[in-house]
Structure formats: C-alpha cells, structure tokens
Amino acid sequence: MSDVMPPLRSHLMTLEPRWREWVDTLPALRDRAADTWDLEVGPFLSQSVGSAVLSVTRRGRPAALKLFTPDEHFTRQVGTMEAARGRGYAHVYESDVDHGAVLMELLGRSADEEWRVNYGNVPAELLLDSLAIEPMLHARTQTLIEAWTLPLDVAPEVDEKTHRAAQLAEQIEYWYRDTSIELDAVVKRALLFAEQRLQARNPDRQVVCHGDPHSGNLLAVTSPRPGAPAGYVWVDPDGFRCEPDFDLGVAVRESNRLVLSSEDPVVMLRAWCAQLAGETGTDAEAIWQWGFLERVANGLYLCHRGMPEQGEQFLKAADWLISRRSFG
Ligand SMILES: Nc1ncnc2c1ncn2[C@@H]1O[C@H](COP(=O)(O)OP(=O)(O)OP(=O)(O)O)[C@@H](O)[C@H]1O
Ligand SMILES: [Mg+2]
C-alpha cells in the first residue's frame, strides 16, 4: 500500500480486518442463497465491506442478489423494501435476513452514474445555467412520494432522543471533537438547526423515510412499471420515521461542486429547496435546515472515517453557505 495517500492508507488499514472477515464469509452466504433459491450466480455489481450485490438468474430470469452481514440494519432495510411492494423501491422476490441475503429486481444505472456520464465533464458554471438540475430533482421527489406511501407501522415510533435531529446533533458533536478543522460557526449553526427540527417534530406528519436517498441509491428500472413514476426506484433504505422534509434534505446535501462554484450558493440552494417543497407539499425552510445538517454530519463522518478529501468538500460547502467563504 506504499503508493496510497497516507489518509486513505489509514482508512484502508482500519477496514482491513473487517474486509478479510467479510471476504471469508461471502462464499458461504452466496452458496446458501444460490442453493435455496436455485440461482445461477453472475458477476459482482458492487462490493464493499460487509455488503455485495451480484447479478444472478433464476430459471433464466435476471435478478440481483444482495448479501450483507446479517444485523438489525439489514433486517430493517429488507423489511422496508418488502413492505413497499415495489412502490418507490426495488421489488423483493425472496429474503433470508438471518443469512444476510435478499433477492430483488435487477435494476439499471444509478442516477448518480447517469449524472456523471452526462454532465461529469461539463464545467459547473455552465451546469448552473442549464436546465439539467430541475429534472434531476423531479426524479427524486416523484420516487420519494411513492416511497412515503409505506404503512407507518413498518418503523418504530420515535421520541425526542431517537428522532433523527437528536441523533444528528449527537453525531456532529462527537465527530467534531475528533477533527482539527476550525469549524465552530458551521457546527453551531448545524446544532441550532437540529434543535429547531427537533422542536418542530410532529408525529402526524411523519412518514417512513428512506433515510439516505442520495443519487447513488436511486436506480433506473429496466422497463416502465407502476411504482416507478419517474423511471427510478430506491434501494438501500434505512426505513425510520421522520418528517418527509428530512429525505429531501439529503437530496440537497449533494452537489458540493455546484455549491462551491456558485457565486450565490444560498440563492441556488434555496431555489432547489423551493422546487422540492413545491412538488411534495413540504416546507422549504425545513428542507434547507435538514440539508445543512446532513452536509455537516456527512463531512465530519467522512473525515472521522479517514477520508478527509471527500469530507472537506462537504464542510467547505457548508462554510460557503453560511459565510460566503470557505476555509483552507
Ligand atoms: N437491485 C439492484 N439491481 C442492480 N444493481 C443494484 C441493485 N441493488 C444495488 N445495486 C448496485 O449495488 C450498489 C450498492 O447497493 P446498495 O446501496 O444496496 O449497497 P450497500 O453496500 O449497502 O450501500 P453503499 O454501497 O451505498 O454503502 C448500488 O449503488 C448499485 O450500483
Ligand atoms: Mg447504497
């Protein structure tokens, strides 16, 4: 690993024991699923520590097999997708959460990949003036509206300690103690927003949120179908109760490149929040606050996990949003 950058190296070193353990576990999970569900196993579609997605066929029909270290998170994820019955989420064909396996509808490229293929080389200044962003946001809202139709009892009730705003505040404080970057103003604002979101919590408005609806988790369906009004569905949900503005905040937490290139990022991002709120009947200010909280939490988390280059982009964008300057 001598040619790897030191921060990335330290990140990979911390992952190494878990990675080895996972690589050792994977064949047994795969073979068990293949035997139980009569699958022909094809190539990996994705692999990370503790999780893998494979292309498979069953009686000649394509499907995707996700293998995961069995745990509460995976059980919740599969339960959420099963309850959706294809509405806004990938169809689940079979599941065995005790053995870390779920067989689901094979999907196409993620919205993130499509965005990179189509616009990855387009300078941010040109993108900001283009009409590309509106349909990208529209696909999110249409697919989230479907996903939010899940019955509430799929996820447990939340209180002032387990509400997402309280958890984010706790995580932000914890991770901030761990970083050497001077970010007091950004963190103070994030904690203020967390308090406001916590005070505004309202069980009557809550839905089963996806929890992490970033564009890498929004995948294209291979042919038009009910439950996928914009041609996409979600995978990889956390499935917890929260106000729907939370999920929309995740949608505006991305696009650091555009935020950092914009002369007036506040006007730009507020316009996105207004579009998302208008299309979903939610509150633009709440989306703004969740988006800011998510941006800060994500940036600190990435730094904490030994990925400072990625993390700092989020934190610089957050700083740019409140002070029209960015550190470093
Ligand atoms: N049903 C599917 N059909 C095709 N590809 C899929 C499917 N589900 C997942 N993938 C691919 O695998 C990737 C990882 O899937 P997913 O997000 O469920 O896994 P994860 O490892 O839990 O999450 P992450 O990699 O986001 O941490 C997706 O981004 C997508 O590229
Ligand atoms: Mg994912």
What residue's CA is closest to ligand 1, atom 20? 51
* Strand residues in the chain grouped as ranges (E): 39-48, 51-58, 61-68, 92-96, 101-104, 207-209, 218-220, 232-234, 240-242
- Candidate of 66, 68, 92, 97 to mutate for ligand 1, largest count of ligand atoms within 8 Å of Cβ: 66
pLDDT for the residue 327? 59
Mean pLDDT of all residues in 270-297? 97
How many Å lie between the centroid of ligand 1 and the Cα of residue 55? 11
Model's pTM, two decimal places? Answer: 0.93
pLDDT for the residue 14? 64
pLDDT for the residue 5? 47
pLDDT for the residue 16? 76
User: pLDDT at residue 8 above 70?
Assistant: no
Q: Residue 131: which pLDDT band, with cuts at 50, 70 and 90?
A: confident
CA dist., res. 44 & res. 55, Å (int): 6
Any idea what DSSP says for residue 89? B
User: pLDDT at residue 134 above 60?
Assistant: yes
Least confident piece of the model among 13-22, 47-56, 138-147, 280-289: 13-22
Which ligand lies nearest the alpha carbon of 55? 1
Is the Cβ atom of 105 under 6 angstroms away from ligand 1? yes
Mean pLDDT of all residues in 191-211? 98
pLDDT for the residue 4? 43
Average per-residue pLDDT for the chain: 92
pLDDT tens per residue, range 11-58? 555 667 888 889 899 999 999 999 999 999 999 999 998 999 999 999
Given the CA of residue 113, which atom of ligand 1 is nearest to it?
Answer: 31
How many Å lie between the centroid of ligand 1 and the Cα of residue 206? 26
pLDDT tens per residue, range 217-230? 999 999 999 999 99
What residue's CA is closest to ligand 1, atom 25? 48
Given the CA of residue 109, which atom of ligand 1 is nearest to it?
Answer: 31
Is the Cβ atom of 114 under 6 angstroms away from ligand 1? no
% of the chain with per-residue pLDDT over 90: 79
Mean pLDDT of all residues in 180-207? 96
Q: Residue 167: is it exposed, middle or buried by C-beta count within 10 angstroms (0-12/13-18/19+)?
A: middle
- Candidate of 46, 72, 77, 81 to mutate for ligand 1, largest count of ligand atoms within 8 Å of Cβ: 46
Given the CA of residue 104, which atom of ligand 1 is nearest to it?
Answer: 1
pLDDT for the residue 278? 97
What residue's CA is closest to ligand 1, atom 4? 107
pLDDT for the residue 32? 97
pLDDT tens per residue, range 58-92? 999 999 999 999 999 999 999 999 999 999 999 99
Q: Residue 125: which pLDDT band, with cuts at 50, 70 and 90?
A: confident
pLDDT for the residue 17? 83
**Sign of the alpha-carbon torsion through 98, 104, 108, 114:** negative
What residue's CA is closest to ligand 1, atom 5? 107
How many Å lie between the centroid of ligand 1 and the Cα of residue 77? 12
Which ligand lies nearest the alpha carbon of 53? 1
CA dist., res. 173 & res. 230, Å (int): 38
CA dist., res. 292 & res. 14, Å (int): 29
Reading the block at residue 243, the tokens are: 């106000």
How many Å lie between the centroid of ligand 2 and the Cα of residue 129? 29
